[in-house]
Copies of this chain bind each other. A is one copy, B any other.
């Protein structure tokens, strides 16, 4: 995988949105990203795979969940590329809307676990009604 291909991995709005969220949290579960971006699960999975192949992110399996995070030990130029993404953040409301949804979704975690007792994606959105009481 040469340099152009690695940059190619960033040349997609969905992947930029994913990276934007991942740069702002230690790690995020796939289902949380699905909710935050309001995209089909298969789309999110695919884009995450591309980013992982390009070496920008890595994953951690935890039971039936998979948490993604920014890869550790990034080479300088990759780190710079990610920095460009974070600068992009101030320029488009798309990223801010993502962050808001992600923030609400992440706040529903219990003891760091993403989906405990959550009926995910009720009617296309996550219910802020307090989960299963």
Say whether A111 faces chain B, with CB atoms less than 8 Å apart. no
Q: Mark A1-27, 1 if CB is under 8 A from B, else 0.
A: 011110110111101100000000000
CB of B4 within 8 A of CB of A12, answer yes
Chain A: interface residue total (CB-CB under 8 A): 25
Chain B residues in 8 Å Cβ range of A88: 3, 77
The secondary-structure label for the interface of chain A is helix
Number of this chain's copies in the assembly equals: 2
Within the assembled complex, what's the spacing in Å between the Cα atoms of A77 and B2? 22
CB of B77 within 8 A of CB of A87, answer yes
The B-contacting residues of A in range 16-66, CB under 8 angstroms, are 16
6 example contacts (A-B, Cβ-Cβ < 8 A) are as follows: A7-B10, A7-B16, A8-B11, A77-B88, A80-B84, A84-B84
